[in-house]
Amino acid sequence: MTESEVAEIATFGYERARDELVNVVKMLEQGGMDLDDSLALWERGEALANRCEAHLAGARRRVEEALSRREDGDSE
């Protein structure tokens, strides 16, 4: 993947990254591509999956922080 493709994916929201990842998986499952194209698509899929994981980790962190603040408020 090129640096511009990596930078582009870094701007994606969760839904866009997830939707593109679903399309990548479908294309890989269909087959029919040569090895170089398949590998490039695989790399894009990996980058998209990492973007989704980053969004989910951020969401998890925010929920945990909100719960922690709520628990701290309950103990006062």
Sequence ranges of the domains in the chain: 3-74
Res 58: pLDDT: 95
Q: What distance, in Å, lies between the first and last C-alpha atoms of the chain?
A: 52
Res 76: pLDDT: 58
Instruction: Give tens-digit pLDDT for 8-57.
Output: 999 999 999 999 999 999 999 999 999 999 999 999 999 999 999 999 99
- Name, in order, each residue with C-beta under 8 angstroms of 45's C-beta and a sequence gap of 6 or more: 21, 24, 25, 28
